[in-house]
Amino acid sequence: MEGPFIKAKPIIVTLMEAGFEAYFVGGSVRDYLLGRSRGDIDIATSALPEDVQSLFDRTIPVGIKHGTVVVLHNQEMYEVTTFRIDGDYQDFRRPSKVEFVTSLEEDLSRRDFTINAIAMDIHGTIIDPFEGQKDLKNKFIQTVGNPDDRFLEDPLRIMRAIRFVSQLDFELSPETKKSIESHANLLTKISVERVLVEFEKLLTGKANEKAIILITELQIQNYLPQLNNKEEELARFAVLCSKQPLTLEEQWTLLIYSLKVEDIEFFFKQWKSSNEKIKTCRLYLNVITELKNCSSLSCYTVYTYGPETVKSGIRLFSLLENKQSNLMLTALQTITRSLPILTRKDMAITGNDLIEWYSKQGGPWLSETIEIVEKAIVDGEVENNKEKIKEWLLTCNPPFENNY
Ligand code: ATP
Ligand code: MG
């Protein structure tokens, strides 16, 4: 057993000493068996949520109705969930009610895929009634039990299956694949928020190309927001998205570009994405457009968007245009190092100086002039020095002579 499990052991010990069963379960056990290290550990127990709350000093009742209590221990958070089976999934939402059960095996049987239905006890002994280890070895995503029943019960599992293909570089088992093909339409019943979580994990998975191609092969795109009938565009995106590791926002930008989305706001609203994400993608798209329109990287672009955003823009631009990014990245480094100012606050003049020099009251001309000076400083046309700026403005900048 490795670090994170050893750190979590005292929680299992406390539960066992109180007479309950407790095991490590879910993604942490799967990833441990695959040699993928991770921090978050989930625990399943026969103890009821109120038992868990009374046994530990610091708990957060995150999902009492579904049996989940977070236990805080040594600066870590552990989800401790009572053995349960799920009741009806009314309206394809999360189960309307759950039933707490006493056996681990029943709890494992409600889990989505065999590889996610493996438990490990405190000594490191694996409990694997659905042969998840075999599927880990064969790299198969396969539902626990009949796939048709399981996808009907909760169609989100369709997206989860594809995201595990992407994250783990696994294949769907033939039965699971066939079942997904015939039930993909059920995805429209699921809330976009739940689909988004899985789709984003899929976008940044190591086998994202394979997963996107699988989406088109199984016609899943027709049931995802804004992707209906976008098979060809997705095929193009699949090739691009896997060429180099990209952040989530970079992947979204690449997708939007590949889809030739016109109304970005509307596209993201359909996905219920955060405003933060929309903003970042917009900035990346602006940088890409600037790079497309200019022959070389300008100092003002680096100043306006900041080196990190421009770096992402360069990466995306070179992917989209099939160009080498090295030269542009080197230019970015040189420009970043030589920028005379990093923000407007670094300018040697203020609006008051301009008001004094021009003997004019404030107005739109003021911010326009500040912007002109700012750009001139960044582009190296004038030194960031009060006297030099005054001289430049009053003698070398004719548009303002009239205002004088
Ligand atoms: P990740 O690495 O993303 O955390 P995970 O397998 O831990 O992957 P979670 O969404 O954290 O995924 O869920 C934890 C466990 O709960 C899963 O391993 C699985 O056993 C079970 N599970 C989660 N979602 C479902 C679902 N929709 N249907 C059935 N079981 C599920
Ligand atoms: Mg998890």
User: CA torsion, points 291, 295, 298, 301, in degrees to nearest 10?
Assistant: -20
CB 304 within 8 A of CB 335: no
Q: How would CATH label the architecture of 345-403?
A: Orthogonal Bundle (1.10)
Q: Which CATH architecture has domain 1-135?
A: 2-Layer Sandwich (3.30)
- Ranges of beta strands (E only) in 147-207 are 171-172
- Name the pairing type of β-strands 98-100 and 84-86: antiparallel
280 lines ligand 1 (CB under 6 A): no
Q: Which ligand is nearest to the CA of 202?
A: 1
Ligand 1: does its nearest atom lie under 6 Å from the Cβ of 116?
yes
Domain residue extents for the chain: 1-135, 139-242, 246-339, 345-403
Q: Please tell me the residue having the least CA distance from ligand 1 atom 25.
A: 112
Q: Which residue's CA is minimally distant from atom 28 of ligand 1? A: 112
pLDDT score at 404 = 44
- Residues 26 and 118: their CA atoms lie apart, in Å, by 6
What token pair was written down for 402? Answer: 């009239």
From first to last of the 404 residues of the chain, give the pLDDT tens digit.
778 899 999 999 999 999 999 999 999 999 999 998 777 899 999 999 999 999 999 999 998 889 999 999 999 999 999 999 987 666 666 666 789 999 999 999 999 999 999 999 999 999 999 999 999 999 999 999 999 999 999 999 999 999 999 999 999 999 999 999 999 999 999 999 999 999 999 999 999 999 999 999 999 999 999 999 999 999 999 999 999 999 999 999 999 999 999 999 999 999 999 999 999 999 999 999 999 988 789 999 999 999 999 999 999 999 999 988 899 999 999 999 999 999 999 999 999 999 999 888 989 999 999 999 999 999 999 999 999 999 998 876 555 545 44
In degrees, rounded to 5, the angle at the alpha carbon of residue 44 between the alpha carbons of residues 38 and 47 is 145
Q: Is 41 in the pocket of ligand 1 (CB under 6 A)?
A: no
Pocket lining: 26 vs ligand 1, CB cutoff 6 Å: yes
Ligand with an atom nearest the CA of residue 63: 1
For 335-340, the CB contacts below 8 A with 24+ separation are 335/297, 335/299, 335/302, 336/302, 336/307, 338/299, 339/299, 339/302, 339/303, 339/378, 340/377, 340/378, 340/380, 340/383, 340/384
Please choose from 42, 116, 166, 191 the residue to mutate so as to test ligand 1's pocket, defined by most ligand atoms within 8 A of CB. Answer: 116
Do β-strands 171-172 and 140-141 pair in parallel, antiparallel, or remain unpaired? parallel
Distance CA 136, CA 129 (A): 14
Residue 160 CA: which ligand 1 atom is closest? Answer: 27
User: Does the 246-339 domain belong in CATH 1.20.58.560?
Assistant: yes
Which of 28, 62, 70, 112 to probe ligand 1 with, by most ligand atoms within 8 A of CB?
112
Report the top-level CATH class of 139-242.
mainly alpha
Is the distance from the beta carbon of residue 112 to the nearest atom of ligand 1 less than 6 Å? Answer: yes
End-to-end Cα, the chain, rounded Å: 78
